[in-house]
Structure 1
Amino acid sequence: MRDQNSEYISKLKLEDFKILLQEFDIELDEETQETVLSIIKNNQYALVHDQYQFVLENYIKKLTSEFTCQKIISLLNNYFKPLLKI
């Protein structure tokens, strides 16, 4: 199941990611959306292991505000992380 969820994340399309952003009330420009999605797809290990999450946070903070970063971290913790911990 975990491999299927990892594959789901790897294949997630920008259009579907935009829906998730809306559900979490996160507003980002198109370029930042693409970058954050790429970060998620390419750093699944850091999503699962809490000791590496700060790396994701620091990178996302460089792209967004602190407030928006915390919303994105909430999305990661409440949507993506549970998918990978099965």
Structure 2
Amino acid sequence: MRDQNNEYISALKLEDFKILLKEFDIEMDEETQRMVLSIIKNNQFALVHDQYQFIIENYIKKLTSEFTCQKVVVLLNNYFKPLLKV
């Protein structure tokens, strides 16, 4: 099941990611959305292991703001992380 979830995240389309962003009330321009999605897809290990999640947070904070980054962290912890820990 975990491998299927990894594949799901790796194959996640921007359109579906935009839906998640709306559900979590996260606003950012489309280029930033693409970059954040790419960060999530390419750093699944860091999502699973708490001691590395700060790396993702730092990348996102540089792309957005502290406020938006914290909202994205909620998305990561409540949507993506549970998928990867199955």
- TM-score bin (small chain): over 0.9
Structure 1: tracts of 5 or more residues without a match: none
For residues 1-50 of structure 1, the C-alpha deviation after alignment (integer angstroms, 9 at most, x for no partner) is 00000000000000000000000000010000000000000000000000
Aligned to 2:73: 73
CA distance in 1 between partners of 2:17 and 2:8 (Å): 12
CA distance in 1 between partners of 2:24 and 2:82 (Å): 16
CA distance in 1 between partners of 2:55 and 2:80 (Å): 16
- Which runs of structure 2 are paired with 1:29-68 in the superposition (5 Å)? 29-68=29-68
CA distance in 2 between partners of 1:60 and 1:49 (Å): 17
TM-score, length basis structure 1: 0.99
Structure 2: tracts of 5 or more residues without a match: none
Q: Which runs of 4+ in 1 moved over 4 A?
A: none
Other structure's SS at 2:25 match: coil
CA distance in 1 between partners of 2:82 and 2:34 (Å): 22
RMSD: 0.3
Percent of aligned positions that are identical:
85
